[in-house]
Structure 1
Amino acid sequence: MYVCVCKGVTDHQIRQQVSDGARSWREVREATGCATQCGKCACYAKSLTKEALQEARMDADMGLAYAV
């Protein structure tokens, strides 16, 4: 789904940025250009980034639990 129509950024691209190592909304915004034009998508894009970061942390924690 498109999150930022101005820059053509999808929810998949935001999640991919987090998967590739982005650790903040600022890093995702800089990498994708999301919310840098009109800004109407910023609120949703931030919450999506936060959700993806939480999932990444949970996945990392689970990986550590299984490694022990």
Structure 2
Amino acid sequence: MYVCICNGVTERQIREAAANGCRTVAELTMRTGCGATCGTCLDTAIAVLDSVHGEREPLFPIVSLSHAA
């Protein structure tokens, strides 16, 4: 299935990029062009990356109150 129509990037290509070490959307865009034009494919591209690598780490670690002081 095509994920990025603008640049002709398929789900298979995203999965191959992920298998070859691609872990971020920025890296995926650099490798495949996915999301570089209009960006409407990014939600689907992220879902495909997540399905290969599992859920993403939170951007900001959650600190419990006992560790905050």
Q: Is the radius of gyration larger for structure 1 or structure 2?
A: 2
Structure showing the higher helix proportion among its residues: 1
2:19 aligned partner? 19
Q: TM-score normalized by structure 1? A: 0.72
After superposition, give the CA deviation of every residue in 1:8-67 in whole Å (9 maximum; x if it has no partner).
00000000001111122221121011011011111111111111112xxxxxxxxxxxxx
Alignment check: 8 A CA contact 1:25 1:50 kept: no
1:2 paired to 2:2:
yes
User: Segments of 4+ in structure 1 off by > 3 A?
Assistant: none
Q: TM-score normalized by structure 2? A: 0.71
Aligned residues: 54
- Unaligned residue ranges in structure 1 (runs of 5+): 55-68
Distance 1:21 1:41 in 2: 20
Aligned AA (2:53): L
Distance 2:36 2:11 in 1: 16
- Unaligned residue ranges in structure 2 (runs of 5+): 55-69
Q: CA RMSD, aligned part only? A: 1.0
Distance 2:30 2:50 in 1: 15
